[in-house]
Amino acid sequence: MLVAATGVGAGDLITASLGGSEVGLVVAWAALAGALLKWTLNEGVARWQMATGTTLLEGWVQHLHPSVQWLFLAYFLLWSFVVGGALVNACGVAGASLLPFGDPDTARIVWGVVHSLASLVIVLRGGYAWFEKAMAACVGIMAVGVVLTAGLLWLSPEEVAPVARTTGSAESSRWALAVLGGVGGTVTLLAYGYWIAERRRSGREGLVACRVDLGVAYAVTALFGASMIVIGSRIEIGGRGAGVALDIAAQIGTVLGAAGSGAFLLGFWGAVFSSILGVWQSAPYLFADFVALRRSGGAADGPIGSRAAYRWYMVAMALITPVWLLAPVRTIQLIYATLGAAFLPLLAITLLILNNRRALVRDLRNGWVVNLLLIATVLVFGYLGVRGISD
């Protein structure tokens, strides 16, 4: 549930709904395919950790050229700043939509700051236990708000909301690729290694357990993506950027009434708040782990969450990233999406290298099916990253 809640955010929900609105249910397969590719990446992270007892970041530091780790650090610092800004903005939009007051832009800024600080308190004060409970609650809210709304719209009479769809193959392909790239997480995939460490999993039995809960996680992720495509396919969405959530809610209201509109906005809020909680909790793991590895040359003793580097990085994210509230929401979302797509090919390539070395992972090496899926991941997300940068 932590994987699903962290990976389902405002960007991919909006992308899926816009895709459904533009071309209809023809892009629903992309939500399933994207979830499968993300499952492959996360299974690779778990496979490495179950075989070696070390995080993938440790594997990069110990077994790959030093340039890889420094390239990742530079990317990670930039990603943290941008993704934090995107999530703070999304939470501001969700909060202002649910409980508006005064000027809409001022309400967005205030709610963005409130969500950032609330996430900091929950994770820093409550630790992993509070984090798990808050994420479980958010998943429940997301399920009721988004999936229930999609089901009700699906069952509503077609003539209530007639929408003309684009049928061109080029347009369908463009939206399918957008949905494919948006489903699930990006750098937060690495956080899974730290979460399973909290559960003290190891060896082949641990890998079996990881495959099961990742299967559930990405089934839920695909369900949310498909639900938003269904929602988009039943209504006409005219807005873009920050206004999309309110536009979707307004259109849902014409079909399902105020209750349906409110349920969607509540589900949307659950999605973005769970994402900011997940990033605030997981990103500092990576920074603290990197600092420990550079100081000691190996894994440091003691839980990562208790280290000063972990706490200070979390505080820095919560206090610095709200400056993005002064930027247009659409701009930060586009930068965030492009950065995320650029990371996934690197992750897939390193899993192809490390998880095929018998000396490192012994009998837990990749099978040929996993290798083919990883190669497909490199090609698909490599293309999406290049296209996003060029755009």
**What average pLDDT score do residues 210-230 get?**
88
Structure confidence by residue, pLDDT tens digits, 22-79: 777 778 888 888 889 889 999 999 999 998 888 888 888 888 888 888 888 888 998 8
Start-end of H helices in the chain: 2-7, 10-23, 28-52, 56-63, 66-98, 104-142, 148-155, 169-182, 191-198, 203-234, 244-296, 308-320, 329-354, 358-361, 368-390
Cβ count near 368 (within 10 Å):
7
Residue 303 reports pLDDT greater than 50 = yes
Give how far the C-alpha of residue 226 lies from the chain's centroid of Cα atoms, to the nearest Å: 15
Q: How far apart are the first and last CA of the chain?
A: 33
Q: Is the dihedral of CA 37, 41, 43, 44 positive or negative?
A: positive
Distance CA 116, CA 323 (A): 11
Q: Which two tokens stand for residue 118?
A: 């609330």
Across the chain, what does the average pLDDT equal?
Answer: 81
Q: Give 389's pLDDT tier (boundaries 50, 70, 90).
A: low
Longest dimension (CA), the chain: 66
Q: Are 115 and 303 in contact (CB under 8 A)?
A: no
Residue 126 CA: distances (Å) to CA of 56, 66, 134, 234: 26, 36, 10, 41
Q: Are 179 and 11 in contact (CB under 8 A)?
A: no
The residue written with tokens 């990576």 in the block is 286
**Full-prediction pTM beyond 0.85?**
no
**What average pLDDT score do residues 328-355 get?**
77
Lowest pLDDT segment from 46-55, 209-218, 261-270, 337-346: 337-346
Task: Quote the pLDDT of residue 69.
Answer: 82
Structure confidence by residue, pLDDT tens digits, 162-202: 444 555 566 666 677 777 766 777 788 888 888 888 788 88
- What percent of the chain has a predicted confidence (pLDDT) above 70? 84
Structure confidence by residue, pLDDT tens digits, 75-123: 899 888 888 888 888 888 888 888 888 787 888 889 999 999 999 999 8
Relative orientation angle of helices 66-98 and 308-320, to the nearest 10 degrees = 50
Task: Quote the pLDDT of residue 67.
Answer: 84
Cβ count near 193 (within 10 Å):
25
